[in-house]
Chains A and B, each alone.
Chain A
Amino acid sequence: MTMKMVTLRIDEHTVEVPAGTRVVDAAKKVGVDIPVFCYHPKLESVGMCRMCLVEIGRPVVDRASGKVVLEADGSPKIQMAPKLETACTTPVSDGMLVVTTSEKVAAARREVVEFILTSHPLDCPICDKGGECPLQNLTMAYGSGTSRFIFDEKMRSAKHVPLGELIYLDRERCIQCGRCVRFQHEVVDDPVLDFYQRGRALEIITRSEPGFDSVFSGNTTDICPVGALTTADFRFGARPWEMKPAASICAQCPVGCNIVYDVRREAKSSGKPVIKRVMPRQNESVNEVWICDKGRFVHHYNESAERLTQPLMRVDGELTPVSWQQALETAAAKLKEAGKGLVTLAGGRLSNEDLFNLRELTRAQGGTTLLHTHMGGGEWTRQLGLNQGSNLGSLGNGDAIVVIASDLHQEAPLWWLRVKQAAQRGATLIVLNARPTRLDAYAAHALRYQPGEAAQAVAGLMGNHKTPAAFQTAREALAGAANLVVFFGSDGLGLTGTRALAQTCADLLMQSGHYGRPNNGLVGVWQHSNDQGAWEMGYAPAADLVGSLKKAKVALLAAADPVGDEPALAKALAGADFVIVQEMFLTASAEKADLVLPVAAIPEREGSLTSGERRAQRFYPAVPAPDGVRPDYTIAAQLGQRLGLELEGRAAGLVFLRLAQSEPAFAGLSYQALSTAEEQWPIVGRRDLYFGGTTYDNNQGMGTHLQPVLKAGERPAAVAAALDTELMDAGDNLLVLPHTRLFDQGSLVRFSRLLVERVATAELRLNPATAKHFGLAEGVAASLNLNGADASVIVRMDDALPPGAAWLPRRVGVPLWAPAAAQVKVMERD
């Protein structure tokens, strides 16, 4: 599809842009700044603030001949419109002349700024936006120096309105541009904000209970062109010019949003630099200019007083502080002793460098490397995953996206957003799940399957399985897709189920040839930021983790807490001769360990992560690490050194180079390649006059996709093993299915006190019919006996859920990772 191009003149510039472009964007292309307030390139334009008024002239066309009338000198005659027009709503047209420098335009800008300031409190000294405020910038650029409005006649409004527990509204500063309202309605479809009243009394309200119930709420504070919306987290925290930005990658989910940590010294942290806020960093291929509230507000863990800062060793049954030297020497000796008996269990939170060094260390001993996850299928995302040139933002008409067994809105909010937008651009979206999810609303085909039958459902999409007619039409919709991306997750599934599901999804992609080229492939909705990186390096979950741990001579746990996760694993770990734990906190596993090594958190060190889209991205140190902690890769290297193994431990970049030499997927990559920045369009970065506080320019790298593992034309290796099926029928017991919530009781969320109200609790949701069968009623406390543990839950009725099973979130204090049969009992009230 070729786009029709239009040529127009803007002041002294001539510019060619695609038809349909707004004048304001065309002007940006040639560096002409047309000031705006209500306009934002990611939102529909409304032309409310009238700041962007410009003079527009169009060629005069002779009605009779249909030809452009020419001046004496042969140039087309231009008829200027009598009134000024809004540049943010007017599409370009051929031969158009836009004048932005005339006295008339200058007067209009001055006058509109004056109007806006008549009701603005001008409390810049105490305003959090002061210093990065588009209104401040535009007032400086276009406003008049004096005021004709009497200060005492100003409108007075409430200055402290909590819209929710996270976002505060200052009604006096609000200039009614509606960016926040439109963002909530148009971009993220959480229409919880609205205008209320009219005229000068027009104000922003929230319509949800609890207030501002949206996982994207923080973004409204970024796009607010004044200081009307502020986050409870950052409110009065610092002035923008006092903070130093440090580029990083959000490590809360596999999306890998590009972020910036804003850092300054803080007195109450005894003068140490701390993270004051998290802001998005523009990367149009990953997160555009948005981040979710989890990424924005879960950053307090690294300041916690509970951090481990000294190696601990079990002496006489007690964990006792020891020196690093003693700890490392003991560990090295144990590793040597263990040899093949070394089992390294790594979590997906570790960086590529950590995983690489741990793998090298373990392999040198002949030990086993395991990934601690409840989700399988990485062998397929490794071979069929996305590669260079892929961008969910480029999917649209003619393309297809399949999302199966995942509640993207909760598991990876930015993927949800981008998949939704792709569907709105015309991509065929097929959503398969045992229960309804938020993505259904945008799906061309929202299909249901029996709990546990996800793989069969995908087989149904291929016509290999008997399925209802709806699958048939979805299959036909898929047939003609130019590009196909399949997301698979673990909603209602465990390790076995997801592995089978991934294989079936791989079959689907292979059958239709949708792999090995940009914008085609398989994406795992992993639970951790770097699960994909671990898979790329050959880490995989153990089929029988209990058995593996039990047999281990030395169990090395890094960013993994099997003891806290499951009683069975706790029992198994007790069987290991020696347990080494690398952790930030004294987790349940660390408490049982023989040796605990404190590690640095992501904002305290360098490294890189591989996103679910197979994009390797760098993060940079933002704050100094507490004394006594070391990055995981350094610890592994120092252990290696004592075992006569030459591992790189000095700098993450050097480790990455080794990784690039050793692992084909990383071949040719380097930190230099990852930190290459590209011009991003639209321009909404910091240097911009009117999107001032929106987002940070991405100067520290867009990251880059990993290399394809398959050679051109090569087919993935087939897996011969028959697929086990997961528990689908619990007999007389209740079948409890796990799902993942954004704000769970995971180890890092709990340090953000603001999020307490949003954190998922142990609520068992089930269809009323099922509830009745088990004698449960709305709101009752029940006791579940599953996986060998007793857990108490609150019962919630949900008509939308299919009967026959119950849903319970992961990481809410119940050891539930895969579908489980539970004995359920109503608890007696006290």
Chain B
Amino acid sequence: MSQYLLLRHRELPDLDKLSGYRAQGGFETFKKAVNDMSPAEVLTTVKESGLRGRGGAGFPTGLKWGFIPNNLWPHYVVANADESEPGTFKDREILENNSFQFLEGLMLASFAIQANVAYIYLRGEYWQLAKQLDRQIAELEEAGLLGKDLFGSDYSLNLYTHLGAGAYICGEETALLESIEGKLGQPRLRPPFPAVAGLYGKPTVINNVETLANVPLIIANGAAWYRSFGTEKSPGTKVFSLSGNVVNPGNYELPLGTTFRELIYTHGGGIPHGRKIKAIMAAGASSTIIPASEEALDTPMDYEEPQARFNAPLGSASVIVMDETVNMAWLVSKTVNFFKHESCGKCTPCREGTFWMNRISHRLVSGNGSSADIDLLDHVAHQIQGKCLCALGEFSTMAVISGVEHFRPDFETLVGN
């Protein structure tokens, strides 16, 4: 049994070529599904596998597909390849090297909800990946794996890529839909949820690239096989993007439930220059900052434990490690600046709140702040919480609140005498 489910290209040769992928049994699953399985069977298998969304929220994928109503047509599937969380670079590796597995997953998802058109939404910087995918989609069409009446059935499917214009918010699923529709990337009000009124007002499934890349193996090997990886509630493997103050940053595919300690020390090679680890951000810029205590290092990385212990969702599992030399106030100011830059401006608390927090944290970091500013920063962050239209505004406060809570001395050292 291979070590990799998603990063199989690291072991198998020529996976980035159609012939190479097909040599490993590629697209047989899709063919089998179209020819021998009903959409409901595909859906049930995914549901039973316990696969959860890898984009960040960890929502059960099968359940999401099951929400699609059968009295509203057409249906759409959108693959979210907007990968814009700072510190996340897993989808890129999959798309660069193992894109056919992802495409097959996307095709299976489309078949499961009987969508005839699926879109791949890529962040603007991935334009070369979009070119590559366009080429590969053409290859698939030529090979008769995409197009009209596939394999003699009456099922047709076409894939299209769509490039974003460089907005973090377009990774949010409803803003992503707006962007595909050619509008300004601003999130929509929910409800209605995309499962009912998504792309062009039609039922739409939106899945992350990594989520979809899991699907071919689940259909091929069955739900029980998939559940043999990971934990009870978070089955499967996950690509962890490790970055920050570690010796070996990079993508690591590990079963969910692996501890931070194993990822950072066993795989990541520990902290350089023999320094001490100070803090961990588990979900890129949207993270709660976890002080790197022994307990924290021994926390299994799944969708439950970090949330339960530190109020720190795993998110997209982009683990950023900070050593003792990092001033957390500086880090908080960086994340605040990021969210201020990326706020779409639609709702007041996020638009004005991130702007305000940026002013305060900039003041603090530049040494012009006072200790009242630390309280004000914390207060503004709390003031944003619970009022925003989408998750971005809420995310912008997580590093601030946890940073001030756990690392207040770091802020105080910056306050002028």
Interface of A with B (CB < 8 Å)?
37, 45-51, 53, 83-84, 89, 108, 111-112, 114-116, 118-119, 148-150, 153, 155, 175-176, 194-195, 197-202
Distance A194 CA – B184 CA, assembled complex (angstroms): 9
Q: Is B41 among interface residues, defined by CB-CB distance under 8 A?
A: no
Which of A46, A118, A198 interacts with B167 by CB under 8 Å? A198
**Are A84 and B386 in contact, with the CB atoms below 8 A?**
yes
Q: Separation in Å of the A120 CB from the closest CB of chain B?
A: 9
Residues of chain B with a CB closer than 8 A to A202's CB: 344-346, 351
**Are B388 and A118 in contact, with the CB atoms below 8 A?**
no
**Are B184 and A115 in contact, with the CB atoms below 8 A?**
no
Q: Separation in Å of the B405 CB from the closest CB of chain A?
A: 20
Closest to B355 in A: A200
Closest to B352 in A: A115
Q: Is B348 among interface residues, defined by CB-CB distance under 8 A?
A: yes
Among listed B89-97, B278-286, B335-343, interface-contacting one: B335-343
Residues of chain A with a CB closer than 8 A to B345's CB: 176, 195, 197-202
Q: Separation in Å of the B17 CB from the closest CB of chain A?
A: 39
Closest to B393 in A: A50
Which of A51, A148, A195, A201 interacts with B348 by CB under 8 Å? A51
Given known pairs A111-B387, A194-B184, A201-B345, the reply for A116 and B167 (CB within 8 Å) is: no
Distance A46 CA – B183 CA, assembled complex (angstroms): 15
**Are B352 and A50 in contact, with the CB atoms below 8 A?**
no
Residues of chain B with a CB closer than 8 A to A50's CB: 347-349, 387-389
Given known pairs A51-B348, A83-B386, A116-B348, the reply for A200 and B189 (CB within 8 Å) is: no
Closest to A176 in B: B345
Residues of chain A with a CB closer than 8 A to B349's CB: 50, 111-112, 115
Q: List 29 A-B contacts (CB under 8 A).
A: A45-B189, A47-B389, A48-B389, A49-B348, A53-B387, A89-B189, A108-B387, A111-B383, A111-B387, A114-B383, A115-B352, A116-B348, A116-B352, A118-B356, A119-B355, A149-B359, A176-B345, A176-B346, A194-B184, A195-B345, A198-B167, A198-B186, A198-B342, A198-B344, A198-B345, A199-B342, A200-B343, A200-B354, A200-B355
Residues of chain B with a CB closer than 8 A to A45's CB: 189
Q: Is B297 among interface residues, defined by CB-CB distance under 8 A?
A: no
**Are B189 and A112 in contact, with the CB atoms below 8 A?**
no
**Are A148 and B351 in contact, with the CB atoms below 8 A?**
no
Distance A197 CA – B165 CA, assembled complex (angstroms): 12
Q: Separation in Å of the B263 CB from the closest CB of chain A?
A: 32
Q: Is B376 among interface residues, defined by CB-CB distance under 8 A?
A: yes
**Are B387 and A198 in contact, with the CB atoms below 8 A?**
no
**Are B383 and A115 in contact, with the CB atoms below 8 A?**
yes
Interface centre among B184, B185, B346, B359 (most CB of A within 10 A): B346
Q: Which B residues from 273 to 321 make CB contacts under 8 A with A?
A: none
Residues of chain B with a CB closer than 8 A to A115's CB: 348-349, 351-353, 356, 383
Q: Separation in Å of the B367 CB from the closest CB of chain A?
A: 16
Distance A176 CA – B346 CA, assembled complex (angstroms): 7
Given known pairs A111-B383, A115-B383, the reply for A200 and B184 (CB within 8 Å) is: no
**Are B169 and A198 in contact, with the CB atoms below 8 A?**
yes
Q: Separation in Å of the B335 CB from the closest CB of chain A?
A: 15
Distance A45 CA – B188 CA, assembled complex (angstroms): 11
The A interface, classified by DSSP as helix, strand, loop or mixed, is: loop
Interface bracket on B: 20 to 34
**In the complex, the 9 A-B pairs of residues with the closest C-beta atoms, listed nearest first:** A202-B345, A115-B352, A199-B343, A200-B355, A199-B345, A111-B383, A153-B359, A198-B344, A83-B386
**Are B346 and A200 in contact, with the CB atoms below 8 A?**
no
Interface centre among B186, B344, B347, B389 (most CB of A within 10 A): B347
Residues of chain B with a CB closer than 8 A to A84's CB: 386-387
Binary contact readout B182-195 vs A (1 if CB under 8 angstroms, 0 otherwise): 00111001000000
Distance A199 CA – B340 CA, assembled complex (angstroms): 7
**Are B189 and A176 in contact, with the CB atoms below 8 A?**
no
Residues of chain A with a CB closer than 8 A to B167's CB: 198
Q: Separation in Å of the B386 CB from the closest CB of chain A?
A: 5
Q: Separation in Å of the A497 CB from the closest CB of chain B?
A: 43
Binary contact readout B386-409 vs A (1 if CB under 8 angstroms, 0 otherwise): 111100000000000000000000
Interface of B with A (CB < 8 Å)?
167, 169, 184-186, 189, 340-349, 351-356, 359, 376, 383, 386-389
**Are A155 and B344 in contact, with the CB atoms below 8 A?**
no
Interface centre among B169, B184, B354, B388 (most CB of A within 10 A): B184
Q: Separation in Å of the B71 CB from the closest CB of chain A?
A: 20
Closest to B342 in A: A199
**Are A112 and B387 in contact, with the CB atoms below 8 A?**
yes
Residues of chain B with a CB closer than 8 A to A114's CB: 383
Distance A727 CA – B10 CA, assembled complex (angstroms): 83
Q: Separation in Å of the A478 CB from the closest CB of chain B?
A: 29
**Are A48 and B348 in contact, with the CB atoms below 8 A?**
yes
Which of A46, A149, A199 interacts with B354 by CB under 8 Å? A199
Residues of chain A with a CB closer than 8 A to B343's CB: 198-200
Residues of chain A with a CB closer than 8 A to B387's CB: 50, 53, 84, 108, 111-112
**Are A150 and B347 in contact, with the CB atoms below 8 A?**
no
**Are B359 and A49 in contact, with the CB atoms below 8 A?**
no
- Known A198-B169, A199-B344; further 7 A-B contacts with Cβ < 8 A: A48-B346, A53-B387, A115-B351, A116-B348, A148-B376, A199-B355, A200-B345
Q: Separation in Å of the A742 CB from the closest CB of chain B?
A: 30
Distance A651 CA – B209 CA, assembled complex (angstroms): 79
Q: Separation in Å of the B42 CB from the closest CB of chain A?
A: 28
Closest to A114 in B: B383
Q: Separation in Å of the B282 CB from the closest CB of chain A?
A: 23
Distance A331 CA – B220 CA, assembled complex (angstroms): 103
Q: Separation in Å of the B359 CB from the closest CB of chain A?
A: 5
Distance A27 CA – B389 CA, assembled complex (angstroms): 22
Distance A428 CA – B348 CA, assembled complex (angstroms): 40
**Are A200 and B347 in contact, with the CB atoms below 8 A?**
no
Residues of chain A with a CB closer than 8 A to B184's CB: 194-195, 198
Distance A797 CA – B26 CA, assembled complex (angstroms): 59
Distance A300 CA – B341 CA, assembled complex (angstroms): 47
Residues of chain B with a CB closer than 8 A to A111's CB: 349, 383, 387
Distance A50 CA – B359 CA, assembled complex (angstroms): 22
Distance A197 CA – B383 CA, assembled complex (angstroms): 25
Closest to A46 in B: B189
Q: Separation in Å of the B166 CB from the closest CB of chain A?
A: 10
Distance A50 CA – B383 CA, assembled complex (angstroms): 12
Distance A84 CA – B394 CA, assembled complex (angstroms): 14
Residues of chain A with a CB closer than 8 A to B355's CB: 118-119, 155, 199-200
Residues of chain A with a CB closer than 8 A to B342's CB: 198-199
Closest to B358 in A: A200
Distance A115 CA – B383 CA, assembled complex (angstroms): 9
Distance A462 CA – B173 CA, assembled complex (angstroms): 51
Which of A37, A149, A200 interacts with B351 by CB under 8 Å? A200
**Are B340 and A48 in contact, with the CB atoms below 8 A?**
no
Interface centre among B184, B343, B376, B387 (most CB of A within 10 A): B387
**Are A47 and B189 in contact, with the CB atoms below 8 A?**
yes
Closest to A111 in B: B383
**Are B347 and A49 in contact, with the CB atoms below 8 A?**
yes
Distance A49 CA – B387 CA, assembled complex (angstroms): 10
Distance A84 CA – B386 CA, assembled complex (angstroms): 7
Distance A200 CA – B348 CA, assembled complex (angstroms): 9
Distance A47 CA – B191 CA, assembled complex (angstroms): 11
Residues of chain A with a CB closer than 8 A to B347's CB: 47-50
Residues of chain A with a CB closer than 8 A to B348's CB: 37, 48-51, 112, 115-116, 175-176
Q: Separation in Å of the B358 CB from the closest CB of chain A?
A: 9
Residues of chain A with a CB closer than 8 A to B344's CB: 198-199, 202
Distance A561 CA – B90 CA, assembled complex (angstroms): 79
Residues of chain A with a CB closer than 8 A to B351's CB: 115, 176, 199-200, 202
**Are A198 and B185 in contact, with the CB atoms below 8 A?**
yes
Given known pairs A48-B346, A115-B352, the reply for A200 and B340 (CB within 8 Å) is: yes
Distance A115 CA – B352 CA, assembled complex (angstroms): 6
Distance A356 CA – B388 CA, assembled complex (angstroms): 62
**Are A150 and B185 in contact, with the CB atoms below 8 A?**
no
Distance A112 CA – B384 CA, assembled complex (angstroms): 9
Distance A155 CA – B355 CA, assembled complex (angstroms): 9
